[in-house]
Amino acid sequence: MFTLCLAYRLYGRGLRRTPVSVATALTMGEPAVAAVLGVAVLGERLPAASWCGLAVLALGLVLLTVGPTA
């Protein structure tokens, strides 16, 4: 329980100190990181649709990071 409370306190503190666009991108990436950690650490198996979703999310985050090319 203590570690969960500490994690949320640090998360809230970090959100107060980051711009909205960066916070949104990080919040979108958090479930993907959790899924990959579940596969890597816990040995979970994801269906093909989940891997496709992770790829689409990663592409979206890359496009947000790169920004408009015009």
Contacts (Cβ under 8 Å, ≥6 apart) of 30 = none
**Per-residue pLDDT at 22 exceeds 90:** no
pLDDT of residue 39: 94
Are 42 and 49 spatial neighbours (Cβ–Cβ below 8 Å)? no
**Per-residue pLDDT at 67 exceeds 80:** no
DSSP code at position 17: T
pLDDT of residue 70: 54
- Calpha distance 70→68 (Å, rounded): 6
pLDDT band at 69 (very low <50, low <70, confident <90, very high): low
Over pLDDT 70: what percentage of the chain?
Answer: 97
pLDDT of residue 27: 82
